[in-house]
Amino acid sequence: MATVLKLLPPWRFVRFSRATQVTSVLSVQLHTTGAMTATVEEFNQAKVKLGTLRSDPGNEVKLKIYALFKQATQGPCNTPKPGMLDFVNKAKWDAWKSLGSVSQEEARKQYVELISSLVAAEAPADVGAQPTGSAATFQTLQVTTEDNITTIRLDRPQKKNAITVEMYNELIEALELAGKDDSVITVITGNGDYYCSGNDLNNFTKIPEGGIEKMAKDAGELLRRYVKAYIDFPKPLIAVVNGPAVGVSVTLLGLFDVVYATEKATFHTPFSQLGQSPEGCSSYTFPKMMGAAKASEMLLFNKKLTATQAREQGLVTEVFPDTSFQSEVWARLKAYAKLPRNSLALSKQLIRGMERERLHTVNDQEVERLVERWLSDECMQAIMSFFQAKAKL
């Protein structure tokens, strides 16, 4: 018993709501019946992790931890029942006894799951405490949190913010952090004159050891994860389109909650020109928002839209004069960010929840088709032409 008490961290205060929330998480975790078992090493790691918890998970959970620990290390409870007036030890004994003949292996597994769920439940607070997107964290993005707004700025202006593999990975990470931090809304925008020129075509020229098939497969997996980060983003996501947008940066706009654009922005998806096919769930969101014919003009026939046309077709929420774009948009966003955080997040999740599964299916299908396309002669030729044209300049 002393060992367990030593393992419990010195919680300074108890928050009832927190305890209730964690308990409900646990009730799911503890009924997991998967085949997984926990090794002794995982069990020992869980003991260490228990010591890192910042807040008291509540008496009910602490008793469960105690009981599982005893069952895992000593087996079923065979010690004499404490006297009725020895309240604390009686509660512990009851908790241990209630596990009956659960095996030590099963108890070890449940203990590991329980501690993991407690640590995971604290993760958002951990993230919020860190400075978001410090220069040390991201190489291709600037990420800041101010006035309840987390802003993710694509930061390769000399390359028109083309998205490299590194940038895809950083964007996924930045979105994950922003989804969990204390901000109310999240904004994506670009540094320089472009919003984004889409996929960096150099991504196709770095052939790994496994050959071109492996390159296409890896790129497909990365794209799937990237689009998934938008589908699952849990709070309002706003695009501040500061200049022209190309390719995936356009198709993804259908997954934002609001899109503000300068009048100088243009919207171009030259997929067939590049021997490719649509991504970012645009094969579903574009026809839905603009009708099949207008969507086809963009996605099949590479029609470039002006900002005003994009607004007329529902892709953009509002267009601003370039001279006042930044001041007008940020004033508005700061006002939005004063609205109640949970109300906004829950409302967004309700709206997204209606079609989340469908969007995941669309994402999977688009990625599958693109992986084939990337291996096609049509696509190789188009990419070679882009770089040949550059070389001639």
Q: Output the furthest CA–CA distance in the chain (Å, rounded).
A: 91
Find the binder of ligand COA among 274, 281, 316, 379 (CB under 6 A). 274
CB-nearer residue toward ligand COA: 197 or 242 = 197
**Residues 6+ away with beta carbon under 8 Å from 99:** 67, 68, 71, 76, 77, 107
Q: Is residue 134 a contact partner of residue 173, using CB atoms and an 8 Å limit? A: no
Decide: is 247 part of the binding site for ligand COA (CB under 6 A). Answer: yes
Size of the site for ligand COA (CB under 6 A): 16
Decide: is 199 part of the binding site for ligand COA (CB under 6 A). Answer: yes
The residue nearest ligand COA at its CB is: 247
> What angle is formed at CA 358 by the lines to CA 225 and CA 282, rounded to 5 degrees?
65
* Residues 160-179, interacting with ligand COA (CB under 6 A): 160, 162
d(CA 180, CA 229): 12
Q: Is 116 helix (H, G, I), strand (E, B) or coil?
A: helix
Decide: is 197 part of the binding site for ligand COA (CB under 6 A). Answer: yes
Going from the C-alpha of 391 to that of each of 73, 183, 388, the distances in angstroms are 69, 44, 5
Strand order in the sheet with 305-306: 245-246, 266-268, 305-306
Nearest distance in Å: CB 261, ligand COA: 17
d(CA 145, CA 131): 8
CB-nearer residue toward ligand COA: 11 or 386 = 386
CB-nearer residue toward ligand COA: 42 or 279 = 279
CA 273 to chain centroid, in Å, comes to 31
**Residues 6+ away with beta carbon under 8 Å from 127:** 177, 180, 181
CB-nearer residue toward ligand COA: 126 or 193 = 193
Find the binder of ligand COA among 29, 73, 148, 202 (CB under 6 A). 202
Decide: is 270 part of the binding site for ligand COA (CB under 6 A). Answer: yes
Find the binder of ligand COA among 246, 290, 319, 359 (CB under 6 A). 246
Decide: is 110 part of the binding site for ligand COA (CB under 6 A). Answer: no
CB-nearer residue toward ligand COA: 159 or 369 = 159
Residues at the contact surface with ligand COA, assessed by CB under 6 A: 159-160, 162, 197-202, 246-247, 270-271, 274, 276, 390
